[in-house]
Chain A
């Protein structure tokens, strides 16, 4: 079945630095979504990418969908303590359900 992998599993970042988390699918995706879960909270939708090579920005967050529609990345610039949490990608192959990756847990060192 469809598998979605995220790396790294953990990301320790110094406040103010940039980092990138990656999402890879075993199958070609029709779209990919990103969610953020704050510690103790529930996942909250951030963004959806649909087109091959699509890039979207939300303030300091940049999301990219790969040309082959099998991978995606989330890049955060100038990390802040408010960025702490777990970031999940979720991929959907055509007609299938959403499959979540294992998440990247982000810890920020002040």
Chain B
């Protein structure tokens, strides 16, 4: 069966520090991968998605970036965190064409930028 792992679960970082969040998927190949951010009590904002290694689409201009160095690995990064980067970051995967399928979410990372 397929599983998705995200780490760390929680993170407290000072303003201006770098960020690296990692997400890996097991049990499937060539998944579509997504990074979402959720502010407290709010909806899901799609940040990035990827349909293959090295292929990244950005949905919202920001100081974050994403990379997909391996088929089942998706990394969210920042060189300098802002206060507004605080939130709940969720990685998700889906299989097949973007047009049809279900997204499976990881447990998420709660980021607090102080």
Please report A residues at the B interface, Cβ cutoff 8 Å. Answer: 30-31, 33, 35, 41-45, 48, 88, 90, 92, 94-103, 105
Nearest opposing residue in chain B for A10, CB measure: B41
Is B46 a contact of A97 with CB atoms below 8 Å? yes
Q: Which of B41, B90, B99 contacts A96 (CB 8 A)?
A: B99
**Top 10 nearest A-B pairs by Cβ distance?**
A102-B43, A42-B105, A100-B44, A45-B102, A103-B43, A43-B105, A42-B108, A95-B99, A42-B107, A97-B98
The 22 sampled A-B contact pairs (Cβ below 8 Å) are: A33-B102, A33-B103, A35-B103, A42-B90, A42-B106, A42-B108, A43-B44, A44-B105, A45-B102, A90-B103, A92-B100, A94-B99, A95-B98, A95-B99, A96-B98, A97-B49, A100-B43, A102-B42, A102-B43, A103-B42, A103-B44, A105-B41
Query: A90 CA to B102 CA in the complex, in Å?
Result: 10
Q: How large is the interface on B (under 10, 10 to 19, 20 to 34, 35 or more residues)?
A: 10 to 19
